[in-house]
Amino acid sequence: MVHYQAIVHGRVQGVGFRYFTQQEALKHNIKGTVRNLENGSVKIDAEGSREDMSAFIQAVKKGPMFSKVTDVELYELEETKQYTSFSIVY
């Protein structure tokens, strides 16, 4: 089990990015949260197997159709939070 925090930059608000992220998390068995940040980026807190996480991060870097991801800051964290689902935080 790995725990990553990602800050996604670009055109990622107002384009369905959080919903897309939640759908990809479900597809790849990832647990955690996604939320918009005040600076226009999106923060993802995610846990899963290393293999599933790799596929999930690749999908996030691509984003949904109307988004334009310019950068993803990725941090591997030591501690896991033991999430039971993946949710959008408002």
Catalytic residues: 18, 36
With b meaning 16 or more CB within 10 Å and e meaning fewer, what string describes 7-30?
A: bbbbebbebebbebbbebbeebeb
- CB-CB contact of 7 with 80 (8 Å): no
Q: Nearest-5° angle of CA 23, CA 52, CA 58?
A: 70
